[in-house]
Amino acid sequence: MKYINTNFIFQKAILLSTIGLLMACNSNSKVVKTAEVTVPEKPNVLFILVDDLGYADLSIMGSKFYETPNIDKIAKTGTVFTDGYAACTVCSPSRASLMTGQYPARHGITQFEGKRNSGQAWKERKRYTKLLPPEYRDHLDTSTTTIAEAFKENGYATFFAGKWHLGGKAQGSLPTDHGFDVNIGGYDAGGPSGGYFSPYNNPYLTNLPEEKGLNLSMKLAQETNDFITKNKDGHFLAYLSFYAVHGGIQTTKEKWTKYRNKAEKMGIHETGFEMERVLPARKYQDNPVYAGLIEHVDEAIGTVMKTLKDLNLDKNTIVVFTSDNGGVTSGDNFSTNQLTLRGGKGYQWEGGTRVPYFIDVPWIKQTGASIQVPVSGVDLYPTLLDLSGLSLKPEAHKDGVSLKPLLLGENIDDRPLYWHYPHYGNQGGEPSSIIRKGKWKLIYYWENLNAELYNLEADLGERNDVAASNPEIVEQMQTQLLDWLKSMDTHYAKVDTEWDQAARKKWLERQKTKSLPAQEKQRKKMLSPDWQPNKDWWGSEVKINNIK
């Protein structure tokens, strides 16, 4: 484990973990032992989850285009886990892992909820893939004790706001079925069905007349502020789960203008996309609508942090900030680029799983510490229990470990991290399983039963597959991965015995000849001075009065 007290920026070839250029007065910072601090009894917890936010989609994580001062403050006062990962490359599996402390291979939700993406139903989508993805659990099972239930058992008021996507009313799997006292806006939808401005078209979210045009992220923040205020004299777990920055992306004309002009000042490239294996991928961070959407989230988070401070709760509230998967470089709205990292949401490479991962514990003097130990979303459940002085529930969070020792300057046992995604992603990902051990990362592909091996210390961008020159490492890691999968009793994709290889080749060629030019055309339109989006979301320009 390494601690570094300088700023965290991207270099041309490798991402270096340094946190100091953006963080003042960190030269003497240190992490102190438990005996030297006074831990509040039953501290509060604010868990902030942003949907589809990429590892490099924050200014503190290297972006020169996006502006996120409020989120940056969480990292500056807390700890940045530079090798922090989501448990899956897409949302529902990762979100279930945050709730349960279990890997997707164990809890059974291996693909996003919604339209089925397995077997014959997948084949009817005419992607012409070699494999047919397996069936998977379509909602969060109530048999497992969630993080919300664990805190509720200990006398905490529990609150959920935003995107749930782990089942709905029909399945008996709303947030209130899993330990949350209050649910604002969470159901089985994976995106903002009514867009990002009121009225929201969400059955669990009010649409007040005076809120017309209010952006959704601020609405969720206001509801969170109200909950915190009402429970300021008790103990609470507030889980703020933004729908942003999921597609379809929207912002205001004011913010679009700001970032469109910024893109022009930075220099607009003639071409903005390149082909990955399957789909076009965005090459640069230059999407002004996406940038504006990120700023909406940052402003909303700023109001919640201000509420904690105004109520004098900032000294006894643990704050977690993370994302459910990587940023969208391909598919959906082709919104962003992850700089040094390869791929994004849905992909098996680092851009699909490595995410912003910050923990701020006020009574531990972190002040921008950086920890380079690989950690996963499954670890946050036991970590928050441990930091709150509550008993762990190893029978529930079976795959997660407490990161409290790391925050206190100590160590945790070395361990591998695992991923299992036996599906084809909408963003270009392939059915695969992954193991990371130390600097090594092995990706096992189910189409050809072959593996790629990357040395992440030397090749964070995963451009140099070194499997051929390291057969012993491949054999050892592959065996360990397959043995682990067998112990999970999980499900796998199967070969389509009627696979039309020629049709698949034609489909892939169309992505080059049609999808790529279409994305280039859309990008140029969005960056042109006279661009006009859908007419239904400029209404956010209306001044909102009497909004708390």
- Residue 383: per-residue pLDDT: 98
Assess contact for 140 and 109: CB atoms under 8 A. Answer: yes
Q: Give the pLDDT confidence of 81-99 residue by residue, as tens digits.
A: 999 999 999 999 999 999 9
The helix or strand, by DSSP H or E, that contains position 85, with its residue range, turns out to be strand 84-85
For residues 440-454, give the mean pLDDT.
98
For residues 202-219, give the mean pLDDT.
92
69 band by pLDDT with thresholds 50, 70 and 90: very high
Structure tokens at 174: 């709303």
For residue 31, tell me if it sits in a domain: no
Q: 26 pLDDT exceeds 60? A: no
CA distances to 79, 189, 309, 367 from 361, rounded to whole Å, are 8, 32, 14, 10
Q: Which comes out higher in pLDDT, residue 382 or 212?
A: 382
Q: Which comes out higher in pLDDT, residue 237 or 7?
A: 237
- Which CATH number characterizes residue 416's domain? 3.40.720.10
- Residue 116: per-residue pLDDT: 73
537 band by pLDDT with thresholds 50, 70 and 90: low
For residue 537, tell me if it sits in a domain: no
- Residue 424: per-residue pLDDT: 95
The fraction of the chain above a pLDDT of 70, given in percent, is 90
For residues 137-142, give the mean pLDDT.
95
For residues 195-215, give the mean pLDDT.
90
Assess contact for 400 and 379: CB atoms under 8 A. Answer: yes
For residues 186-196, give the mean pLDDT.
93
- Residue 21: per-residue pLDDT: 35
- Residue 211: per-residue pLDDT: 87
CA distances to 256, 328, 351, 385, 396 from 152, rounded to whole Å, are 42, 34, 35, 11, 15
Nearest one of 342, 206, 360, 177 to 276, comparing CA atoms = 342
For residue 22, tell me if it sits in a domain: no
Q: 113 pLDDT exceeds 90? A: no
For residue 545, tell me if it sits in a domain: no
Amino acid at site 80:
V
For residue 291, tell me if it sits in a domain: yes
This prediction's pTM: 0.92
Nearest one of 445, 420, 421, 424 to 504, comparing CA atoms = 424
Name, in order, each residue with C-beta under 8 angstroms of 371's C-beta and a sequence gap of 6 or more: 1, 2, 3, 79, 80, 81, 82, 406, 407
Mean pLDDT rounded to a whole number for the chain: 91
For residue 116, tell me if it sits in a domain: yes
Structure tokens at 107: 């809890």
Structure tokens at 302: 């700023």
Nearest one of 96, 189, 34 to 377, comparing CA atoms = 96
536 band by pLDDT with thresholds 50, 70 and 90: low
- Residue 366: per-residue pLDDT: 78
Q: 265 pLDDT exceeds 60? A: yes
Q: 198 pLDDT exceeds 70? A: yes
For residues 197-218, give the mean pLDDT.
91
Q: Give CA angle at 331 (329, 337), nearest 5°.
A: 5
For residue 445, tell me if it sits in a domain: yes
For residues 314-320, give the mean pLDDT.
97
At residue 218, φ and ψ (nearest 5 deg) are -70, -35
CA distances to 199, 353, 480, 528 from 83, rounded to whole Å, are 39, 10, 21, 37
39 band by pLDDT with thresholds 50, 70 and 90: confident
d(CA 264, CA 128): 40
Q: Which domain holds residue 463?
A: 43-529
At residue 35, φ and ψ (nearest 5 deg) are -65, -20
Q: Give the pLDDT confidence of 319-357 residue by residue, as tens digits.
A: 999 999 999 999 999 999 999 999 999 999 999 999 999
Q: Is the torsion defined by CA of 405, 411, 412, 417 positive or negative?
A: positive
How many domains, in total, are found in the chain?
1
For residue 6, tell me if it sits in a domain: no
Listed in order, strand segments (DSSP E) in 324-431 are 357-360, 369-371, 375-376, 417-421
Q: 480 pLDDT exceeds 50? A: yes
Q: 9 pLDDT exceeds 50? A: no
